[in-house]
Amino acid sequence: MSVVTSPTQTLREEHRVILRALALVELAADRLSGGGALPSGWWDALLEWLRAFADRNHHAKEETYLFPALAEAGVPAAGGPVGVMLEEHTEGRALIRAMSEGCGERRVDAARRYVHLLREHIDKENGVLFPLTDAVLDTAAQQALGREFETVEAEQGRDASIAHAEAEVDRLSRALEGA
């Protein structure tokens, strides 16, 4: 029996949207470092998107459910690919704080480091962690993980919806172009 949408397919689809948001972070950083301004409220809305969709939804699915499922299947929780992913999530949260609190060059620097960190992180997950997940979790474990992801989505409401997240990325993108 096959899984209709596997948990890693859900996470890959979320990565696709997060990469779109990272392109906006990069554009905004370029504009700020060139002395330009961002539309009013734009930066805060972008950071809130990253906190809600990338962190509370996506990283929560990975940390609360995927990594423990991998541990259950014999992939060590500390060290190895899971340990690296956890460290990078922590680093990402610190950079979001720096992007929120810092100003001027510090903000631009934190934004660029965040984009670099997350792009590499997503590459590692897509290229290493998810193929490993697909290989070590049997169908029952994948179905259980899929149900757990649904509980995250139920808790987070529309913030966890890919359609809602992507619509907000579209809105931020138009606002940046129009400014």
Tokens of 148: 């757990």
How far is it, in rounded angstroms, from Cα 58 to Cα 62? 7
Closest residue to bound Fe ion by CB? 125
Choose between 12 and 31: whose C-beta lies nearer to Fe ion: 12
Pick the binder of Fe ion from 125, 130, 149, 169 (CB under 5 A): 125
Tokens of 139: 């169908």
Going 86 to 90 to 93 to 99, the CA torsion angle's sign is negative
Tokens of 26: 């990069």
Least distance (Å) between residue 37 CB and Fe ion:
32
Choose between 125 and 168: whose C-beta lies nearer to Fe ion: 125
Compute how many other C-beta atoms are within 10 angstroms of the C-beta atom of residue 88. 18
Least distance (Å) between residue 58 CB and Fe ion:
6
Least distance (Å) between residue 92 CB and Fe ion:
10
Least distance (Å) between residue 122 CB and Fe ion:
6
How far is it, in rounded angstroms, from Cα 90 to Cα 43? 21
- How many contiguous H segments (helices) and E segments (strands) does the chain have? 9, 0
Q: Which 55-94 residues touch Fe ion, going by CB under 5 A? A: none
Listed ranges 35-43, 93-101, 123-131, 171-179: which one lies at the site for Fe ion (CB under 5 A)? 123-131
Choose between 61 and 107: whose C-beta lies nearer to Fe ion: 61
**Residues with Cβ within 8 Å of residue 78, at least 6 apart in sequence:** none
Least distance (Å) between residue 13 CB and Fe ion:
11
Site of interaction with Fe ion (CB under 5 A): 125
